[in-house]
Amino acid sequence: NREIHLASRPQGWPAAENFRLVTTEVPTPGPGQIVVRNQYLSVDPYMRGRMNDVKSYLPPFPLDAPLDGGAVGEVVASEAEGVKPGDTVLHGLGWREYALLDAKAARVVDPTLAPVTAYLSVLGMTGLTAYAGLLDVAGMKPGERVFVSAAAGSVGSLVGQIARLKGAARVVGSAGSAAKVERLRALGFDAAFDYHDGPVRESLRAAAPDGIDVYFDNVGGDHLEAAIAAMRPHGRAAICGMIAQYNDLRPPAAPRNLALVIGKRLTLRGFLVGDHGGLREQFVREMSGWLRDGSVSYDETVVDGIENAPAAFLGLLRGENLGKMLVRV
């Protein structure tokens, strides 16, 4: 069994030296437990925060122990009722080839209903984040104008498509390359821009000349500042992530225009997907329908090999992914 440990805490941008590949015995299950041979691991931006030794909504990763995170795999041994070898399960012990866990902490999924990777992406945590953030947290209504940042990523690409399906009048996305911008147009975004091409504020004004009602923030910083500037009275922002500052050692310089929140009566609302589990059933039903009839497409970027999981994570932070970044074990 090979697994990835956190060898040291990154200062600023993480590097390969912060991770260590460790070989251990394949575990055997005790009563109530299962052993899962992981097939796909999720790497996610929130993991960067857990590499710091600070108190947050999730505890820090311990040093010299395997990292964890979303994974799907096949049960290879079971001492638990209701879960049998051959079952496919979704669980939280990624970053390793074999996971030993209580069966209660795993969810059996149907690999014939969707590709198993979908449970880590479009039908999983990032899909629910997009759905709950846009519809519940920001309360997007038909006819509204929506802007989403990191729009070619896993959450962002779904936000834009859900907005369109729910009747948004205009959907605008920003991303980090010309190829990503092209992909956003193909996904049905009305306008998209590469945030490297000029100040975000100017690019957004050109892409949304009548302003925006809803901003789905994945980036923070100058993107949030530009969105505040573009927001119409009573606009709402779902504050989902601020990836532009996860590796910063200093506090961000933007947004500098927060006072506009008053006059425009804006709502900026942070959220955690974990609080929106009550929407899961409705989300899975609706998203499954959209996938079946082809109205939602999703991208995945797959890196091969557990030994390359750190590189996949670093690549995610650098924007090397289109859609969900995954590791095939």
Eight-state DSSP code of residue 93: B
Region near ligand NDP per CB under 6 A, out of 63-71, 76-84, 240-248, 255-263: 240-248
Q: Which of 38, 154, 161, 203 binds ligand NDP (CB under 6 A)?
A: 154
Q: How far is the CB of 33 from ligand NDP (least distance, A)?
A: 28
Q: Which residues contact 294 (CB under 8 A, 6 or more apart)?
A: none
Q: Which of 4, 137, 175, 187 binds ligand NDP (CB under 6 A)?
A: 175
x/- track of binding to ligand NDP for residues 4-43 (CB under 6 A):
----------------------------------------
Q: Which of 155, 231, 284, 287 binds ligand NDP (CB under 6 A)?
A: 155
From CA 17, how far away is CA 240, in angstroms rounded? 29
Can you name the residues that pair with 217 across neighbouring β-strands?
239
Our finding on whether 146 is near ligand NDP (CB under 6 A) is: no
3 state SS of 295: coil
The residue (of 29 and 323) whose beta carbon lies closer to ligand NDP is: 323
From CA 313, how far away is CA 219, in angstroms rounded? 17
The residue (of 117 and 129) whose beta carbon lies closer to ligand NDP is: 129
Our finding on whether 44 is near ligand NDP (CB under 6 A) is: yes
Q: How far is the CB of 270 from ligand NDP (least distance, A)?
A: 7
Our finding on whether 46 is near ligand NDP (CB under 6 A) is: yes
Indicate the Cα dihedral angle 5, 7, 8, 14, nearest 10°: -60
From CA 302, how far away is CA 320, in angstroms rounded? 11
Q: Are 46 and 13 in contact (CB under 8 A)?
A: no
Q: How far is the CB of 123 from ligand NDP (least distance, A)?
A: 14
Region near ligand NDP per CB under 6 A, out of 111-119, 163-171, 174-182, 260-268: 174-182
In this structure, how many other beta carbons lie within 10 angstroms of the beta carbon of residue 209? 11
Peptide bond into 251 cis (omega under 30): no
* Nearest of 47, 37, 38 to residue 69 by alpha carbon: 47
Region near ligand NDP per CB under 6 A, out of 30-38, 147-155, 163-171, 285-293: 147-155
The residue (of 29 and 127) whose beta carbon lies closer to ligand NDP is: 127
The residue (of 46 and 290) whose beta carbon lies closer to ligand NDP is: 46
Region near ligand NDP per CB under 6 A, out of 15-23, 44-52, 100-108, 227-235: 44-52
Q: Which of 176, 235, 255, 310 binds ligand NDP (CB under 6 A)?
A: 176
Residue 170 phi, psi dihedral angles, 5° rounding: -155, 135
Q: Which of 126, 148, 201, 310 binds ligand NDP (CB under 6 A)?
A: 126
CA quadruple 99, 102, 104, 105: dihedral sign: negative
Q: How far is the CB of 276 from ligand NDP (least distance, A)?
A: 8
From CA 26, how far away is CA 175, in angstroms rounded? 41
Instruction: Using the structure block, give the residue that is written with the tokens 């108190």.
Output: 55
Our finding on whether 273 is near ligand NDP (CB under 6 A) is: yes
What are the residue ranges of helices labelled H in the chain? 46-50, 125-131, 154-165, 178-186, 200-207, 221-230, 260-263, 280-292, 309-318
* Nearest of 37, 44, 87, 104 to residue 68 by alpha carbon: 44
Q: Which of 6, 90, 150, 268 binds ligand NDP (CB under 6 A)?
A: 150
Q: Which residues bind ligand NDP (CB under 6 A)?
A: 44-46, 126, 129, 150, 152-156, 175-177, 180, 195, 218-219, 240-241, 243-244, 271-273, 316-317, 319, 321
